[in-house]
Chain A
Amino acid sequence: DAGVIQSPRHEVTEMGQEVTLRCKPISGHNSLFWYRQTMMRGLELLIYFNNNVPIDDSGMPEDRFSAKMPNASFSTLKIQPSEPRDSAVYFCASSGSNLPKQFFGPGTRLTVL
């Protein structure tokens, strides 16, 4: 298995632009998580999906952030409009229904100028 796949690996954009991050979970996993990691705040859970349905989005910082999971093999995290304080590494992780371990993707390093 290729593991969790994220794209792009690096994204540099200007303030105000729309940013879309993509994630393909491990095949067969039914839970998907989006995290954000910064030096100041560490690793924070943004949103969690189970069977393609958003279960807990209490970590989404504000309305500029949105996430979708149209099917079991694809999810997106969108920031519109982006701001410099959104600069961080965004990780996607997945886990199976009977497997509490979460498997992380390599992350997307976002820089908003």
Chain B
Amino acid sequence: QVKLVQSGAEVKSPGASVKVSCKASGYTFTTYNIGWVRQAPGRGPEWLGWISTKSGSTNYVQKLQGRVTMTTEASTSIAYMELRTLRSDDTAVYYCARLDRSGSSWPDWGQGTLVTVSS
């Protein structure tokens, strides 16, 4: 079955960077695109961006342009999300999710990675 397994929790200082990984299994990695979503404590999900696992094309939410980079490694079926110049309001659970073929919904999610930004 489809599984998305993310890297473990991170604690970072303001101004640092974090890189979260998402290893996919149970399907051909390059046939489905990957998105990243975060959820701050007590808040709704926030879509962060999308990457084509075939071409590497990306699209990021406007507010994170310049601070976020999404990449994939097809040989290992891993997607990465790097966020730089971390601030306290970046504290959240970060999820990777598989986009369905039509691009309409996110049927499969990773377990989430808690990123805490604190001095």
- The reply to whether chain A is a binding partner of chain B is no
Enumerate chain A interface residues (CB-CB to B < 8 A).
none
Residues of B with Cβ closer than 8 Å to A?
none
